[in-house]
Structure 1
Amino acid sequence: MILGITTLNRKTLIKYATLLVATSVLSTSATAQNAYPENPVTILVPFGPGGTSDIMARILAKHLRQAMGGNLIIDNKGGAGGAIGMMQLKRAKPDGYTLGLSVIGPEVLQPGMRKTGYTYQDFDHICGTYSVPLMMMVPQDSAFKNLQDVVAFAEKHPKQLTYGTSGTGTLLHIAMEMLMKQADSTALHVPYKSSAEMVTGLMGKQVMVISDTTTVAKQYKLRPLGIFSDQRLESSPQVATTKEGGWPIQATIWGGLIAPKGLPQDIVATLETACEKAVNSEGYKADVEPLDTPPHFMGAKAFAAFAKAESEKYSKLIKEMGISNEKPQ
């Protein structure tokens, strides 16, 4: 009978009741964590299909499925140099079911040029996955054989050298303007909405040169002219660097996985672990090796610090170049 319970028994019952409640909470928490993802996870790619970002996102999604289970869906949201997709990601619910592919252009370059409505601080960084220098490229039948040919044409024919990019304010745009500035030359910038459209413009002779990663060069069988780096690529030892030509320019495309600000830490940890497993897997390495885009994993804290440093560096550079007031096209 309850009236016969001693003080000791009461304390014992309270102790066991507290233990049961704690166990129940831990069990529920563990079940919720183990259940993620219960629904399909969407990865927003801030560019159209066919470019480096899209290709790398699809490879990552493939191996994330294997690392953490569940279905991952790629959703391309191109336009405004990637800012449209980034704003959609910022507005998404931070529940782990809408993630995004972070790329240097949309995350740190666009906010450095204009008011985008977001900065790198509006996102939780999960993992960095790749890093590769830009490469200038042309169709196989182009008269240009190297970077010197391109610069010489620009010097002789001001504003007649046309080059395409995947958008105003992208690294593709900034790298080419840096080259023109250092070479004391000028060229005409033609922005497109995606790398795929940019390549179409190149093949259709609407522009004379483009710059993108080796991924795009191999995907579309384009001929490389030079690399925006101080070291040659092991996979393309015949391609000279901008530094060798006398223009010390480094422009590297990097990417990774981010989420709307406020993602629960248990989900961040789950995704970070799955990302590390995916990027370091033999399958992932095999998929990216033909594209000359080697794995480059960074954990959540390291990736967030890296994005901050890149944002500060390029914001300063953009102001120095005088393109900070350009509007997206």
Structure 2
Amino acid sequence: MKIHSVVASAAASLTLVVAAGCTSSSPEDYPDDDVTFIIPAAPGGSTDPVGRAFARQLEAELGTSVVVKNRDGGGTTVGTNEVLQAEPDGYTIGMFIDSALALNPLQQDLPYEPDEAELIFGLAEQPANLAVPADAPWKSFADFISDAKKRPGEFQIANSGAQSVTDLEIRKLAKDAGIDVQSVPFGGGGSDALKALVGGQVDAAVGRVGTFAGDVEANNLRILATFRDKPFHAAPDATPTGELGLEIGNTPEYVGIGAPRELPPEVKKRLVEAAREVAESKQFQDFLRERGMEPSPQGPEEYQETINQTREEYSGLLKETGMPTKQG
């Protein structure tokens, strides 16, 4: 009986070993399972549809299912952290918004460090825009600024969260234009700010064209200004802030794809190749333009340079606007 038990135990152990050997994968076989793709924002807004469009095309390039998960919160830091805390095996990747790597680390202690990110491929940039209700009295951005100067402290402009990029952009606008406005935070990655604007709770909102597009088409909103030096194809009737001598448009939001640091070289190479195919495709670039973005495909090295440069620009803007930083 005892001998039988030992033999049975050994056989069971051997079965487990063989089974484990059959299910384990090597980097050379990547991918041989589903890939989780994390979007660090709630459904809706400007980030979510772009991430989902990328994931759909990535499935075809990788030849496996790409499962999208939304992880909103913390100004994109919650979703970013979930990506960075995953196993560096290529089966959890995500969309990175530059603020999670270039702005938020300057403002607060985070559960991750920016250098824990393995940048895969950069996708696109999108400037901020100022939108108002369609029936608002201002016919132009110049009218809006002129009226704000006459009513200091009265105008409420919605942003996508306290100390977010849009909060910083509103403060920069106020400083450069010489106006006193209230920057009002909302959650939901921009979707709640949109609801507040359409619902008449605020006078204006700062966000991306993708956030406003549906309500602009429905004649609920008008985009008065785009935060850049030259006209923007996705908001042709908006005034570039540079035309009024304002320097707000130096830091358009940049989005890309990343993973946890220390991916196996074979896995990173496969992801970079697949992401490049998607990012440089006409189908994806047309979609980006429709969503109010400028395609800007960048390989890992160039993408890292963009993040580094953006971090320096954000550091200067934080000091200029007086927004709090980790240093005080």
Give the TM-score, by structure 2 length: 0.84
* Distance in 1 separating the partners of 2:112 and 2:142: 39
Measured after TM superposition, the shift of residue 247 of structure 1 is 1.2
Distance 1:144 1:63 in 2: 42
Q: How does 1:72-151 map to 2 (within 5 A)?
A: 72-151=66-145
User: What does the per-residue CA deviation read over 1:275-312, in whole Å, with 9 as the maximum and x for residues that have no partner?
Assistant: 11011223213323322323211001111121122112
Asked whether 1:201 is paired with 2:200, we answer: no
Match of 2:161 among 139, 155, 167: 167
- Confirm whether residue 289 of structure 1 aligns to residue 284 of structure 2: no
- State the partner residue of 2:172: 178
Whether 2:236 is the aligned partner of 1:223: answer: no
Contact 1:43/1:101 (8 A) holds in 2 = yes
* Residues 318, 324 of structure 1: 8 Å contact kept: yes
- Answering whether residue 310 of structure 2 is matched by residue 314 of structure 1, we say no
Name which of structure 1's ranges 80-89 and 194-203 shifts more when overlaid on structure 2: 80-89
For residues 49-64 of structure 1, what are the structure 2 equivalents within 5 Å?
A: 49-64=43-58
Give 1:40 shift. Answer: 1.8
What is the CA-CA distance between 1:224 and the residue it aligns to? 0.9
Give the equivalent residue in structure 2 for 1:13.
none
CA displacement, residues 29-65 of structure 1 (integer Å, 9 cap, x when unaligned):
xx84453222221222222111111121111111111
Contact 2:37–2:66 (CA<8 Å) still a contact in 1? yes
In structure 2, the partner of 1:258 is 258
Could you tell me whether the CA contact under 8 Å between 2:123 and 2:295 is conserved in 1?
Answer: yes
Letter in 2 for 1:223: R
SS at 1:243 equivalent: helix
Match of residue 243 from structure 2: 244
Give the distance between the partners of 1:186 and 1:117, measured in 2 at CA: 35
| TM alignment of 1:275-286, pairs within 5 A | 275-286=275-286
- Over the aligned positions, Cα root-mean-square deviation in angstroms equals 1.9
Distance 1:269 1:300 in 2: 10
1:288 is paired with a residue whose SS is helix
Count of matched residue pairs: 296
The DSSP-based 3-state class of the residue aligned with 2:244 is coil
Contact 2:276 2:297 in 1 (8 A): yes
Q: TM-score, normalised by structure 1?
A: 0.84
Which SS does the other structure have where 1:49 is aligned? coil
Q: Residues 244 and 129 of structure 1: is their aligned pair in 2 closer, same or farther, counting only changes over 3 Å?
A: same
Aligned counterparts of 1:142 and 1:69: Cα–Cα separation in 2: 49
Identity in percent? 26
Closer/same/farther in 2, CA of residues 317 and 289 from structure 1, 3 Å limit? closer
1:36 aligns with 2:30: yes
> Between Structure 1 and Structure 2, whose CA radius of gyration is higher?
1
Deviations 1:96-150 (A, max 9, x none): 1111211122221111222223342120100000112111112222223222233
- What one-letter code is carried by the residue in structure 1 that aligns with 2:279? V
Structure 2 gap ranges (5+): 1-24
Task: Give the Cα separation in 2 of the matches to 1:219 and 1:116.
Answer: 34
Name the residue aligned to 2:13: none
Secondary structure at the counterpart of residue 125 of structure 1: strand
Letter in 1 for 2:245: G
SS in 2 for 1:152: helix
SS at match of 2:137: coil
| Cα distance, 1:156 vs structure 2 | 2.1
Q: Work out which of the residue numbers 207, 215, 221 in structure 2 matches 1:212.
A: 207
Give 3-state SS (helix, strand or coil) of 1:244's partner.
Answer: helix
- In 1, the alpha carbon distance for the partners of 2:146 and 2:321 equals 22
- Indicate the SS of the match to 1:142: coil
More deviation in 219-228 or 249-258? Answer: 219-228
1:305 aligns with 2:305: yes
